[in-house]
Amino acid sequence: MENADVFTGLHEFLERMRQPSASDFVKSIKSFIVSFTNNSPDPERDSAAVQNFFAQMEVDFRVHPLWAGCSEEELDSAGEGLEKYVMTKLFTRVFASLPDDVKLDNILHEKMALVQQFIRPENLDIQAPFQNETSWLLAQKELQKINMYKAPRDKLVCILNCCKVINNLLLNASIASNENPPGADEFLPVLIYVTLKANPPQLHSNLLYIQRYRRQSRLVAEAAYFFTNMLSVESFISNIDAKALSMDETEFEKNMESARAILSGLSTDLNSQPNQSDQPVNINKEPTAPPKSSKVPSLSDLEDKGAALLVNDKQASQVFRQYPYLFAHVGDLTVNDVEDLLNNYKQLVFKYVCLSKGLGDSAPSLPLKSSETQDRQHAETAKQQDHTRAAEPNDGPSKDTDRKDDGSNTGSLFEVESLESKLSEDQTVAPQDSKHEESSQSQLS
């Protein structure tokens, strides 16, 4: 990977700002941030002011002795550090600051909550070989992290990571099924589906915020493409009607009605014990409260049954052929296989854990070696955190694992990605205004 010097981000930037010769920069940054508190929110003007300020500062960095002899990467990193610092400070002032935007967030959120109840991959033209709802959970998880960060770049990275996971899954699916490599015909529908199911918080405001405050010269090329896809997802979802999903009008309305009933049922039933007979509609579509039955077979029963079927199945080897590594020997594998293997492994773990949870098995366990147990715990932690994510801005070790895994999955897929790992140590820190920033506070404020 790159030189350690560039793996610094915000911390490195703040270090430089502590130098005596940086005092003019500190003064400008300080007064720029203060200037915001005096005006009422005006997105157009605010965005222009921030973009101009970043551009000017980047020009100034370039000719300042503090960065004398520095590489393009280091200057770029300084720009990232500045963006992150300034936007973390301005966040509460500029994010979702207009009542209209808050209203649109709520409308979009409700729409997704309803449509996610009945949408099927077919409604969006997702072809059968590319359908993989279990693995899409991984992509949903990336998107749902978006409110854990304040800096525009970090929010953007959540979107890019989501897209990356989808691309990987589509590519694997295309190879497995001998389909053409996936293009936008395959990608966009899955992104829409994943977004609907993830229902990320304040999607509208998050997208506007990235558009306005991510440094424009960095929102280009691949990042711009995938960001545009997310904008187009928002647009599509806001306009979803019967026609957009190839449903007839009455069916669509009926589905929306049922979804509303389910949602209102959910919120009232949360306090009392859920009683199925109290819920008049579509209990079988209710995802969080599967009908309870004492007849649900245990996992090991199912496993035994499946094993018995396989033993008698002459086509069994066909089935296993779908799993490319099952018959591999260590000597056959190359470093290039690690990515695929890891992907396969993650899909497997997720599928298994989800199935286990679905069956009500409280402590699913794969026969793992002790070194693997950690990974399993991460997967489970990650799943549990689905419920508490919004409340916990810092989800600790499991996040770190996710980040590292994502990085190894795709190398330098996105141009911002190398910065991802660079800043990851700051990410948990910055949104909470703790240490690094507090200590610099004495100089920067």
Partner 1 sequence: MGCSSSLPDRGSGRLVGPNVENGGAADAKNLRVKLVLLGDSGVGKSCIVLRFVRGQFDPTSKVTVGASFLSQTIALQDSTTVKFEIWDTAGQERYAALAPLYYRGAAVAVIVYDITSPESFNKAQYWVKELQKHGTPDIVLALVGNKADLHEKREVSVQDGMGYAEKNGMFFIETSAKTADNINLLFEEIAKRLPRPALSSSSSIQNP
Q: Which residues bind partner 1 (CB under 8 A)?
A: 59, 62, 72, 76, 124-125, 164, 167-168, 170-171, 174-175, 178-185, 187-189, 216-222, 224-226, 228-229, 231-232, 235-236, 239, 243-246, 336, 339, 410-413, 415, 418
Residue keyed to tokens 């490195």: 12
Q: How far apart are the first and last CA of the chain?
A: 35
Minimum distance between the CB of residue 29 and partner 1, rounded to whole angstroms? 21
Minimum distance between the CB of residue 171 and partner 1, rounded to whole angstroms? 5
Minimum distance between the CB of residue 410 and partner 1, rounded to whole angstroms? 7
Nearer to partner 1, 243 or 305 (CB): 243
| DSSP assignment of 409-438 | HHTT-STTHHHHHHHHHHHTTGGGT-HHHH
Nearer to partner 1, 5 or 278 (CB): 5
Nearest Cα residue to 426 out of 81, 16, 50:
81
Instruction: List Cα–Cα distances, 420 to 64, 401, 440, in angstroms.
Output: 26, 13, 22
Minimum distance between the CB of residue 293 and partner 1, rounded to whole angstroms? 38
Please name the residues in contact with 131: beta carbons below 8 A apart, sequence gap of 6 or more: 121
Minimum distance between the CB of residue 157 and partner 1, rounded to whole angstroms? 16
Nearer to partner 1, 235 or 273 (CB): 235
CB 157 within 8 A of CB 165: no
Nearer to partner 1, 246 or 317 (CB): 246
Minimum distance between the CB of residue 305 and partner 1, rounded to whole angstroms? 36
Cα atoms found within 13 Å of the Cα of residue 218, Cβ hemisphere only: 27
Instruction: List Cα–Cα distances, 310 to 9, 65, 317, in angstroms.
Output: 54, 71, 9
Q: What ranges in 199-313 are assigned the alpha helix state H?
A: 203-213, 221-238, 249-269, 299-312
Nearer to partner 1, 87 or 207 (CB): 207
- Interatomic CA distance for residues 135 and 140, integer angstroms: 9
Nearer to partner 1, 239 or 374 (CB): 239
Nearer to partner 1, 51 or 279 (CB): 51
What is residue 320's DSSP assignment?
Answer: H
Minimum distance between the CB of residue 16 and partner 1, rounded to whole angstroms? 20
Nearer to partner 1, 78 or 444 (CB): 78
- Interatomic CA distance for residues 317 and 192, integer angstroms: 36
- Interatomic CA distance for residues 394 and 335, integer angstroms: 32
Minimum distance between the CB of residue 170 and partner 1, rounded to whole angstroms? 6
Residue keyed to tokens 């693995």: 135
